[in-house]
Amino acid sequence: MAKARSAPKTQIIVAPVGESKQATASNGNDISMDGFKTGCHQANFSYLVLDLAQEKRLIRGSNGPGTEGLFAHDVPCGPGYTLSMPPSYATGLAALKRRRNNHADQDDAPETDAELREAVLEGPFAQLVDRALISETDLLKVEVSACALKIDVVSILMQQHGILREVLRECLMSHYNLPFIEFSTDVHISRDLVDKLNPRYLKRVGWVPLPPDGDPVSILIDNPRNAWKCHDIQMLFRDRQIRYFLGFREDIVRFIDSAFGIMKPEKDISAIMSDLGGACAAPPGSEEDGMEDAITESDSAIIQLVNQVIIDAHKQGASDIHIEPNSHDKETMVRFRVDGHCRTYQKMPGSYRRPLAARIKIMAGLDISERRKPQDGKIVFRFSGKKIELRVATIPTSGTGNEDIVLRLLASGEPLPLERLNLSKRNHDQLKALLDKPYGLILCVGPTGSGKTTTLHSALKYLNRPEKKIWTAEDPVEITQVGLRQVPVQNKIGLNFPALLRSFLRADPDIIMIGEMRDSETIEIGLKASLTGHLVLSTLHTNSAPETVSRLLDMGVDPFSFGDALLGVIGQRLIRTLCKLCRQPYEAMPREQEQVRKAYGEKAFASLERPEGMQLYRAKGCVGCGGSGYKGRTGIHELLVVSNEIRKLIHARAQISEIQRVAMAQGMTTLCQDGLIKYLLGQTDLQQVIGSVKTG
């Protein structure tokens, strides 16, 4: 028997602007905005009216003489909007918000699990608990996880807990007491209705106006009790009545895409391939080469197919797309590299291989008739208001006219702040100290795909100030920053790294970033620049920070110039992190504890502060992570800071082991040690650490 839920009490607060203390509070069972207005009409102050249940202000106004203030128009909400939840609900939501944002300091606003549970169980999906479709604990986890990972609650409930879409719709309709609208191609939203609105804004806030454009205005919204959203809507449609309808956020996004002409293809990859099936069938007795005319790169289905492959790769967080053809009678494999590991995306008929290659070549501006030589190009792909840049490489492989194609999805958006690189406190503080130096050389090292470019751009974001002139030479430019003067390498016209460096030195630089030190000439010019009053940042392909010194000395670099110029070396790797939705806690076995101690170093491990009992986590697998148990990657780092003692070792061409011994004595943690620390913190598992670095 489901327990009866008591009707929520109202709580509307009027607080003077600029004061934190509550000025007027009205509490009751059936208070309305009219009643509230009557109760405080004699007050004469500026105010904020707050809905505590949503932690949002309704509106800011003034209740003084000659002003209309708040009550010039009705509060834009559906039935029962003025009925706020009890204070405990507001407190619980505040606690949930702090957990979402991973606040480290909780002292300013204490929270309890009881308050948080009460908050969730007064929400729209509490009926799922009453119907025994999910436990209270699981619902609480879903709400917190959705907020922490910025995922729609509805998506997690459907994908991970198998709750039907229809059931969730009933919950929302019952809770909000409003009609529900799902996406339909029969509903055509006029562009005139949304012409003055930004699609990105509408997607972020979760609402869209529906036809007809009459009075009242019909608004499809995912949460009609969000005061901030409703206030914005009322301001946009001033002096007009508002009628609200409920909808899933996913459907709202589809309506927005449809209205702005950025609708993604309705068909999935399987449906598109089904449409191509008849055209790709080989006629009896045909030769392999004769199949080129069965389908062509100009066919609309092939265009849709290539577009959908790119869209799906982007949605799955892939870094690379691999198209691997075989013969005509064998399948063409399409694989995505996600979080550093390749996974099969789709197997396509062999007859697709040449139309696929031709279409990608056309998009990249390459020669479609040339199949004997490797080619490189670039694609700028747009969908749903997003821009994706892809670097294309074609390589001829065995078989008549076969070409492997690899598309690298280039990173876009703002660079990460240094605080989000997951550096240890020691590495973070010392890296900032190195970046504050007026001149010298800082190197970021590691294998291909280890996040070196990301780290360098985070460093440049820290350095990017109006008083600094920063030049970068990159191949290609993957991350753009306002304030940096970024130049792409163009080897075809002789614009390589050495040529750009010489030009930069004549262009009054303070800081120079070189995408990669590939040859002795680039290294020599970079060293000279660092010794003549410039801060130089670059990357190098080496396995560790201490090995970098030996590598450069072996390339013929003068040890005295190099030792004087070098400030520090950051070595790094990327390892997969455990999925936060499904990771399983476990107690480490003695054998595993011994393995960790040995890999870290017995003496160093004994002095390491670590969780009591070594409470660890391991991968499980769920819908959210594609069954792998991992979602996302994080960096492990080692930072070699060049002290006077290490500088002397460089001058003396000391062995790698000696440089590493001194660096560790001065506080450096190795890649392995940093990875094990992140393992002990529950961010990854032992397999990921051991598999990525040397442990002894």
What pLDDT, on the 0 to 100 scale, is given for residue 159? Answer: 73
Q: Which of 377, 371, 358 is closest to 397 using CA atoms? A: 371
CB 499 within 8 A of CB 468: no
From the number of C-beta atoms within 10 Å of its C-beta (0-12, 13-18, 19+), residue 466 rates as exposed
Residue 118 burial (C-beta neighbours within 10 Å; 0-12, 13-18, 19+):
middle
Residue 368: burial class (beta carbons within 10 Å; 0-12, 13-18, 19+):
middle
The whole-angstrom separation of Cα 265 and Cα 253 is 14
Mean pLDDT (whole number) for 614-634: 78
Q: d(Cα 633, Cα 577) in Å, to the nearest integer?
A: 5
- Is the pLDDT score of 100 beyond 60? no
Single pTM value for the model: 0.59
Q: Work out the pLDDT band at 186, boundaries 50, 70, 90.
A: low
Beta strands at 470-474 and 207-210: parallel, antiparallel or unpaired: unpaired
Say what the pLDDT of residue 214 is. Answer: 63
Q: Quickly count: other Cβ atoms within 10 Å of residue 681's Cβ.
A: 13
**pLDDT tier, 486 (very low <50, low <70, confident <90, very high otherwise):** very high
Give the pair of three-digit tokens for residue 436.
């504050």
Distance CA 550, CA 553 (A): 5
Strands lying side by side in the sheet with 24-28? 24-28, 10-16, 46-51, 56-62
Residue 236: pLDDT band (50, 70, 90) is confident
Helices (H), 652-685: 656-665, 671-680
pLDDT at 48 (0 to 100): 34
From 153-167, 387-401, 574-588, the region with the lowest mean pLDDT = 153-167
Mean pLDDT of 202-230: 81
Q: Where do the H-state alpha helices sit in 411-484?
A: 425-435, 452-463
Percent of the chain at pLDDT exceeding 70: 72
Give the gyration radius of the chain's Cα atoms.
30
**pLDDT at residue 491, rounded to an integer:** 83
HSE-up (13 A, CA, CB side) for residue 119: 25
Element (H, E) at 257: helix 249-259
Whether residue 255 has pLDDT greater than 90:
no
Closest CA to 210 of 188, 186, 239: 188
Residue 304: pLDDT over 90: no
Q: 530 — phi, psi (to 5°)? A: -70, -25
User: Averaged over 631-653, what is the pLDDT?
Assistant: 93
Q: Residue 59 burial by CB count (10 A; 0-12/13-18/19+): exposed, middle or buried?
A: buried
The more confidently predicted of residues 108 and 160 is 160
| Other beta carbons less than 10 A from residue 249's beta carbon | 17
In the chain, what's the furthest Cα-to-Cα distance? Answer: 94
DSSP state of 147: H
Q: Which residue has the tokens 């799902």?
A: 182
Question: Which pLDDT tens digit goes with each residue over 52-63?
Answer: 333 333 333 333
Tens of pLDDT, residue by residue over 261-302, are 654 444 566 666 666 654 443 333 434 444 344 444 445 678
